Amino acid sequence: MTTMRVAQIPSAGAPFEIVERPIPEVAPGMVRIKVAACGVCHSDMFAKEGAFPGLTYPLVPGHEVVGVVDAVGEGVTRLAPGQRVGVGWNGGYCSHCNPCRGGDFFACEKESHTITGTTYDGGYAEYMVAHSSAVAVMPEGIDALDAAPLLCAGLTPFNALRNCGAQAGDTVAILGIGGLGHLGVQYAKKMGFRTVAIARGADKAELALRMGADHYIDSQAGDPAAALTELGKARAIIATVTHGPAMTAVMPGLAPRGSLMVLGAAESLEVNPGMMIGGSYTVRGWYSGTAIDAEATLAFSALNGVRPMNEVFPLEDAEAAYQHMMSGKARFRVVLSMT
């Protein structure tokens, strides 16, 4: 076989088209992956709508990629054909630019392979080629469809939780019970935090508790910060929502020196300086993570039984899958299956 099917965006804003392309060659330092599954993430919107500077089309999105190593380029020693692997948002790093030299690999300035499925072709395809530094090794005991969303929707809250400053037994709140939040609640509980889920509406309570939350706050039923204060305040709030005012509303529920970890790309966020000073609060943006963080996410998930709730579509239905994800009606992650 010398060709593969891909779901490509022909130009910014245009619908997906399914086309045959030659299976790409694998250059030095690169790894070719036979894709088994790829999650459909809200951030695929940057590629789909051209909402990112300097993108080239046609473009294949997809940054929640799971598959098997098919071929490795010259100089790649860490990976070998046959290995089960995953690729997330971080498309690799160069190890030579100033951010890399400072250990900030997520902020690598080499743009050719910075963002999977955005600055280069991603996983809405039967094969993809990734920089070896972007490739995470998969553990046993987790299947491809379950693992795909963990590469972005799982990795992001997992990595934020383990860097939020809270320790086992502390109270941590997860704001928003969607794609990231339903995983964030599972991670928080299994990391040993007293876990509070906050979302809009009483109907999310049952799900939040089933995912492992110790408490549920309906932010529409009253002041969510007051409800969080009644529970003893949170050492950290992991904000997965994309609405700035929803983040602002919960901040007074932070414990002294507490952190608001911002994961959701809201347009703007208002904070009260007096409140920040009084509580010595931190507001911190959190980038998802690199391949080593993805490996930790996958290993933790396999070990502790953390799984996403998925709706699966075949690759041919990429347009329908993307529109379903954008509608906000998906419960909770949309995944493309290549087989």
Q: Mask: binding to Zn ion, 274-293, rule CB under 5 A, as x and -?
A: --------------------
**Binding of Zn ion by 41 (CB under 5 A):** yes
Contact pick of 26, 94, 208, 321 for Zn ion (by CB under 5 A): 94
Quick one: which of 59, 69, 108, 145 contacts Zn ion (CB under 5 A)?
Answer: 108
Which residue of 16, 93, 313, 332 would you call a contact of Zn ion, by CB under 5 A?
Answer: 93
User: Of 91-99, 278-286, 304-312, 317-325, which segment contacts Zn ion by CB under 5 A?
Assistant: 91-99
Closest by Cα among 89, 154, 140, 137 to 307: 154
Are 179 and 153 spatial neighbours (Cβ–Cβ below 8 Å)?
yes
Residue 9 Cβ vs Zn ion, minimum distance, rounded to whole Å: 16
Give the range of 102-110, 175-183, 187-195, 272-280 binding Zn ion by CB under 5 A. 102-110
User: Closer CB to Zn ion, residue 43 or residue 219?
Assistant: 43
Q: Which is nearer to Zn ion, 22 or 103 (CB)?
A: 103
Task: Report the C-alpha gap between 238 and 232 in whole angstroms.
Answer: 17
Is the distance from CB of 112 to CB of 119 less than 8 angstroms?
A: yes
Which tokens belong to 86?
Answer: 């995953």
208 binds Zn ion (CB under 5 A): no
Stretch touching Zn ion by CB under 5 A, among 10-18, 52-60, 110-118, 220-228: 110-118
Residue 252 to residues 170, 200, 282, 283: CA-CA distances in angstroms?
A: 17, 18, 12, 12
Nearest approach in angstroms of CB 213 to Zn ion is 23
Least separation in angstroms between CB 220 and Zn ion: 27
Would you count residue 43 as binding Zn ion (CB under 5 A)? yes
Q: How many residues bind Zn ion (CB under 5 A)?
A: 9
Cβ 44 to Zn ion, closest distance in Å?
7
Exposed / middle / buried, residue 275 (Cβ in 10 Å: 0-12, 13-18, 19+): middle
- Quick count: other Cβ atoms within 10 Å of Cβ 6? 25
Residue 230, class by beta-carbon neighbours within 10 Å (0-12 exposed, 13-18 middle, 19+ buried)? Answer: exposed
Q: What is the DSSP letter of 173?
A: E
Using CB under 5 A as the binding rule, whether residue 97 contacts Zn ion is answered as yes
Q: Does 37 bind Zn ion (CB under 5 A)?
A: no
Residue closer to Zn ion by CB (options 131, 204) is 131
Which is closer to Zn ion, CB of 59 or CB of 217?
Answer: 59
At 257, which amino acid appears?
R
Q: Is the dihedral of CA 26, 31, 34, 35 positive or negative?
A: negative
- Give CA–CA dist 224/204, Å, rounded: 15
With contact defined as beta carbons under 8 Å apart, do 34 and 70 qualify?
yes
At residue 118, φ and ψ (nearest 5 deg) are: -135, -60
Beta carbon nearer to Zn ion, 203 or 267: 267
Contacts to Zn ion from residues 133-172, by CB under 5 A: 152
Q: How far apart are the first and last CA of the chain?
A: 15
Query: What's the min distance (Å) between Cβ of 179 and Zn ion?
Result: 9
Q: Is 59 in the site for Zn ion (CB under 5 A)?
A: no
Under the rule (CB under 5 A), what is the footprint of Zn ion? 41, 43, 93-94, 97, 100, 108, 110, 152
